Structure 1
Amino acid sequence: MLAFILKGMGMSAGLIMAIGSQNAHVLRMGLRKQHVGLTVMICIACEMLLILAGVAGIGGMINSQPVLLTIARWGGAAFLIWYGVRSLRAAASQQSLVAEAGELSLTAGKAALAVLGATLLNPHTYLDTVVLLGAIGGQQPGDGKYWFAVGAILNATIWFAALGFGARLLAPWFAKPMAWRVLDSLVGIVMLMLALNLMMG
């Protein structure tokens, strides 16, 4: 049991810790101290549902359908390009200079829609959770696949909680406008690199 849990945590960590639209959004909300608990809970819930769906067999089904994989790959690339360009434009504009918690305030509803968009509109999320983690988890013998899923979900819970609530520790650095420019620039470059990697894959 423990071996499967640790394997799930390790595989999940390798995928979830890369900079992506979801992580960037959680970090930004944490830095601005806006609806952090809501954002983190929605991320965890989405990861849980997608991982369980993948381990239950959807990941294997998608892997066996080249057309679905092609759609996911090109759709993911298009989203990542859009997000990357958006981040680079933000780095070059006044949008990246807003570091105070009271500015650009969102209602709970808008905050929920924002994190759902950053999570569910990104096909890369499905490639990581449903396809990759689902396919690997589904190959575990017996009940091992469920313990693998438990480990992956546990890692996601720890990661998003640490990223969201721990972001305030970085607040002193992000009080400077240049820090926001650097963050947006880094996110934009990584998004475009991920898109290129998807298209070449």
Structure 2
Amino acid sequence: MTAALHGLLTGLTLIIAIGSQNVFVLRQGLRREHVLAVVLVCLASDVVLISAGASGLGALLRAAPQVVAAARWAGVAFLLGYAVLAARRALRGDGGGMEADARGTRTGRGAAVLTALALTWLNPHVYLDTVLLLGSVAASHGEQARLFALGAIGGSALWFTALGFGARRLGTFLRRPRAWRILDGAVAVTMLLVAGMLAAG
């Protein structure tokens, strides 16, 4: 149980720090668009990555740094594109959440799932933190590495569920289009900052 609790706390600490993915899950939760699908994609991705790290894939990634480098630049390009789209929504004021159905601006489920996948798998921090770091900490638990991994997966499930579905409680504060313009502006700035940090290494 100590290993599982350690995995839970470590997993939560690392997941909360991965900004671009969290911003997208929060935005989908606020818009009430395909929240379950997005949460499940993020959770399933973490299950794969955490399990890979705990089973020793981290050592393989250390030997092939070009994989992380490729993900880094692909992530920079994707985040810049996403930032441009968010900035355009903020300037035009067409990203409203509560009126999305009436205004025909809903995001399709496929697009939401693909965006969640891209924000997860094109982020090199996912490989560095979730696979390498969590994998190293899991290895330090010896025979209890699986319990550590299960705890980390539990942390991921708690975080994404709370972030996606808990965002609905903020819906009453976001009924005005101006609030969504501010949110999309914040999304654009966040994506630009994360892209800049990735580009700078």
1:52 is aligned to 51
Q: Deviations over 1:54-101 (max 9, x none)?
A: 221222211233333333333333333333333223222233334335
Aligned length: 199
1:89 maps onto 2:88 in alignment: yes
Matched-pair contact (CA < 8 Å) for 2:120–2:126: yes
Separation of aligned partners in 2, 1:79 and 1:133: 25
Q: 1:117 to 1:57 in 2, by over 3 A?
A: same
Identify the range of structure 1 (151-160 vs 41-50) with the bigger mean alpha-carbon deviation.
41-50
Q: 1:197 to 1:115 in 2, by over 3 A?
A: closer
Separation of aligned partners in 2, 1:95 and 1:122: 27
2:128 is aligned to 127
Separation of aligned partners in 2, 1:160 and 1:90: 25
1:10 maps onto 2:9 in alignment: yes
TM-score scaled to structure 2, two decimals? 0.83
Separation of aligned partners in 2, 1:63 and 1:8: 22
Identify the range of structure 1 (83-92 vs 145-154) with the bigger mean alpha-carbon deviation.
83-92
SS at match of 1:126: helix
1:104 maps onto 2:82 in alignment: no
Q: 1:98 to 1:22 in 2, by over 3 A?
A: same
Separation of aligned partners in 2, 1:12 and 1:73: 21
Separation of aligned partners in 1, 2:3 and 2:74: 32
Q: CA deviation at 1:35?
A: 2.5
Runs of at least 5 residues in structure 1 that lack an aligned partner in the other structure: none
Matched-pair contact (CA < 8 Å) for 2:69–2:124: no
Separation of aligned partners in 2, 1:80 and 1:136: 29
Matched-pair contact (CA < 8 Å) for 2:26–2:164: yes
Letter in 2 for 1:129: T
Q: 1:125 to 1:80 in 2, by over 3 A?
A: farther
Q: CA deviation at 1:113?
A: 3.6
CA RMSD of aligned residues (A): 2.5
Q: 1:76 to 1:36 in 2, by over 3 A?
A: closer
1:149 is aligned to 149
Give the 5 Å matches for 1:151-190: 151-190=151-190
Identify the range of structure 1 (171-180 vs 12-21) with the bigger mean alpha-carbon deviation.
12-21
Identify the range of structure 1 (174-183 vs 110-119) with the bigger mean alpha-carbon deviation.
110-119
Matched-pair contact (CA < 8 Å) for 1:4–1:148: yes
Matched-pair contact (CA < 8 Å) for 1:21–1:83: no
Separation of aligned partners in 1, 2:109 and 2:78: 25
Instruction: Report % sequence identity.
Output: 43
TM-score scaled to structure 1, two decimals? 0.83
Q: 1:106 to 1:196 in 2, by over 3 A?
A: closer
Separation of aligned partners in 1, 2:146 and 2:182: 40
Separation of aligned partners in 2, 1:111 and 1:68: 25
Q: Deviations over 1:127-162 (max 9, x none)?
A: 33223323332x323223212211111011001111
Q: 1:61 to 1:38 in 2, by over 3 A?
A: same
SS at match of 1:143: helix
Q: 1:100 to 1:195 in 2, by over 3 A?
A: same
